[in-house]
A and B are shown apart, each in its own frame.
Chain A
Amino acid sequence: MTPSLPSRRRGFSLIEVTLAIGILGLAILSLVGILSATFSQVSEIMDTNRALAGVTRLIGALDNPRTIVFIPAGDTSSANTKFINQSGTVTPALDPAPGGAPNFDLTYRLLAPAKTTADAVWLYVYDRRTVGPDKAVVTTAGTDRYDIGSNPSSMEVAVVQGNNFTPDMAAQRNVIGSPMRVRITLSKLLANQRVTVDITTSEPSATRYVVGSALPTDPSLYGLAYLPVVAEFFPHDFTSPDGPTGFKTAEQTPLLIQNIIINR
């Protein structure tokens, strides 16, 4: 018997090795993908909690609208910031001369136009450091330095002209994390309510409110003791409000939806 020829076993080809490594890489990447999904959920939880804290602040701000700040379009300096009751901010003026209108009137004038999603009023709610980090860590005297150990934060509600809250604006105001963008529209609770006061009788007129229609411009002609609105919270990703990809028309799922009743 002649010895059989040794069998020829070839090694892995380059393609096989590449494929194997590719599959391994895919497996690792998918694992990392799962992890990143977990982290994005953590981030979402943080955002939702921030939105929950923002609800209380927003309600407080709508009850006291003179605490809402107004940021001009394209502003790059916080020096131009005013409050929305001041002249030269929201038009038409929320607190027309001689001024001193009740708080409800200001809020009403601000929110009454928000009859549909397209007409919604956008507000921004955010946490901000009291001063910039460079002002908070100095221990010696200075004209504009603050010996604040922890540099505490406070919450602010803002109206931005043109609704475009830019990263520059956020930096100017020492904003922590991502601000919340709040879309406010009139609530459907207004449906079939007699919302208009008849100026001849000073009684609510018989006409009933149809969802999507306009409310009286003058708060004194508004017939209810409260204004119900819906606030939808979105994380603000600094996208533009207008255009085909703008957030005004984009389909988004809000982090939080809150019904708010503003009392006279």
Chain B
Amino acid sequence: MLRLITVLSVIVFSWSAQAEIRVQDELGELVLDSVPQRVVALEFSFVDALAALGVSPVGVADDGDASRLIGPIRDQLDEWTSLGVRSQPSLEVIAALKPDLIIADVERHAAVYEDLKRIAPTLILKSRGETYEDNLDAVLKVAEAFGQQDLMEQRIAEHHRIMDGYAAQLDSDATVMFAVSSVKGVYMHGPQAYAGGVVHRLGLRSPLPQDTEQPYIQATLERLVQTNPDYLLVGEYGDQTAVDEFKQNPLWSVMASVRQDTYVETDPRLWSLNRGMISAEIMAAELVKLLSTSTASR
């Protein structure tokens, strides 16, 4: 009996090892003969997903700066080769790495999709401008490419447990908004942006209407004052950015978050660049800390 089971399981195992892996992505179907070994990721959100699977990518489009990935993700991975900027990764460097899977962003890389496919099988998924829910779908697709749906489903279930735990600690009707600030201006992340999705997931509200379509909305100070979130988190790209100019204006102190000392400056890499479960959990922890300390102080 035992022998029969062993034989059967060997047959089943070898059959599954030889089976093709098929994944439906944003532009078609990815077909792989075997589990990929050398993976390159063209957006940060895919690296988060790979980290969850315990896969170290050989190349990442990290804008030439590995520190753009947050420490908790970076620590789980081996060193990788930079593929250049995410908007225009170097096809030559990608080809030189001889990958057996490329994971690309449908918004940024649809134009080079055919070129990428000539280099290696390409999985093209949502990343830039994705919602929180989009990201969870994309993460599962990444796992499918490695035949690891079960593992990822477990991880997602665990993620939901963690987020539920944080949400339970956040019994608040407050509105919370994240925005990035660079020299070019301040961009509010609406309910459709990843950060907006995390806020919603935790049972908090966005000060912007839930049906705001654009994920990132450029804000003048007038717009920001009118939006007036109870909690405002701003991630600055650079030392002197547009938000610093806003602070010079008397209207800045009119905002609820400034008056109540609930305006905080946070890490734009965490809140905007590194979309994924690992980031979302750290964001949630930050929000719990922010909301609990500020309510305590009031």
- Please determine whether chains A and B interact with each other in the same assembly: no
